Amino acid sequence: MGAHATEAVADAGAAATSTAVIPVALPSTTASLEASKVSAWFGQRKVLDRVDLEIPAGKVTALIGPSGCGKSTFLRILNRMHELVPGASLAGEVLLDGVDIYDPERRLTDARKAIGMVFQKPNPFPAMSIYDNVLAGLKLTGTKVGRTEKDALVEESLTRAGLWLEVRDRLKQPGSALSGGQQQRLCIARSLAVRPRVLLMDEPCSALDPTSTRVVEETIQHIASDVTIVIVTHNMQQAHRVSDQCAFFLAAHGTPGVIVEHGPTASIFESPQDQRTHDYVNGRFG
Ligand SMILES: Nc1ncnc2c1ncn2[C@@H]1O[C@H](COP(=O)(O)OP(=O)(O)OP(=O)(O)O)[C@@H](O)[C@H]1O
């Protein structure tokens, strides 16, 4: 499977205009994640060392820290994408509502369906219609949906992603006809169509302008009650605005990344326990 398709499986798109996000009542499917003693290597090089983190259901957890400390690697381990990288390996456990996603009895696609991913750069299929883009993750994860349910699912997913009102009259237009921010919300809709229990977001706003960023942040806050969110961000204001808890990663002097401190977002920003956390969130390094 090509990289684009792989990302789309893990994905389950924003506009400068908009953007009433209509709340959609869904049965709660949100789940907790628990990483225990997670280590990671690229070849011989260890990049994460025994990371423990509890990610509560229905909350937004932000992973923060300087470049290269292992945040994206940790994120990819949470939905079994790290193992796709040639030469990459890992140790430890990741429990989804108490069940190990790396249990050999469990299928890879089950973890990918339950734990979706949105990437830094919006990656809709450019020639595919907006409608088909929303449904693309279903095909790739082998999920069957009837014709009538498809229309409802497209509307539900685009509504949850805060995009429905902007695109409902042009669903047959290609994904590439949207602005960068709208494309990112289309990717969020594509992830949500698979009804994931957790959504991983790797710097989802770094390619967006400030207005589109705010719209995506609003979307994150609206969907967080029915899908657990883990977001990697370099933007401290964003971490402060959108997250309930933060984990601060650091890889000092070429050593593997560790979590220095984690806790409620207000504590991490206002009363961190570790001087390095204090210095990082106040922009003294990184
Ligand atoms: N495919 C890869 N092959 C080899 N080394 C890699 C690969 N991907 C990442 N690394 C290395 O692993 C370490 C952790 O990288 P990672 O991307 O997880 O950090 P990060 O904290 O997400 O960084 P950034 O904030 O810059 O995205 C870095 O030293 C990086 O160079």
Average pLDDT over residues 5-18: 39
Domain that holds residue 243: 3-281
Protein residue whose Cα sits closest to atom 31 of ligand 1: 68
Does 7 or 167 have the greater pLDDT score? 167
Residue 57 lies in a domain: yes
Task: Using the atom order of ligand 1, give the atom closest to the CA of residue 76.
Answer: 18
Task: Using the atom order of ligand 1, give the atom closest to the CA of residue 85.
Answer: 1
Distance (Å) from CA 71 to ligand 1 centroid: 8
pLDDT (tens digit per residue) in 51-70: 999 999 999 999 999 999 99
Residue 80 lies in a domain: yes
For residue 207, pLDDT over 50 is answered with: yes
Q: Look at residue 147 in the predicted model and tell me its pLDDT.
A: 85
Residue 232 lies in a domain: yes
Q: Look at residue 6 in the predicted model and tell me its pLDDT.
A: 44
Distance (Å) from CA 106 to ligand 1 centroid: 27
Distance (Å) from CA 40 to ligand 1 centroid: 11
Residue 204 lies in a domain: yes
Distance (Å) from CA 276 to ligand 1 centroid: 21
Q: Look at residue 28 in the predicted model and tell me its pLDDT.
A: 52
Q: Look at residue 284 in the predicted model and tell me its pLDDT.
A: 85
Q: The domain that contains 25 carries what CATH number?
A: 3.40.50.300
Partnered with residue 62 across adjacent β-strands are 231, 246
Protein residue whose Cα sits closest to atom 3 of ligand 1: 42
pLDDT (tens digit per residue) in 88-142: 999 999 999 999 999 988 888 888 889 999 999 999 999 999 999 999 988 877 7
Q: What is the ipTM of this complex?
A: 0.98
Q: Look at residue 254 in the predicted model and tell me its pLDDT.
A: 83
Residue 286 lies in a domain: no
Residue 42 lies in a domain: yes
Protein residue whose Cα sits closest to atom 25 of ligand 1: 67
pLDDT band at 253 (very low <50, low <70, confident <90, very high): confident
Residue 127 lies in a domain: yes
Residue 153 lies in a domain: yes
Distance (Å) from CA 39 to ligand 1 centroid: 13
| Structural domains in the chain (count) | 1
Does 142 or 30 have the greater pLDDT score? 30
Q: Look at residue 108 in the predicted model and tell me its pLDDT.
A: 86
Please give all residues whose beta carbon lies within 6 A of any atom in ligand 1, as ranges: 42, 47, 65, 67-73, 85
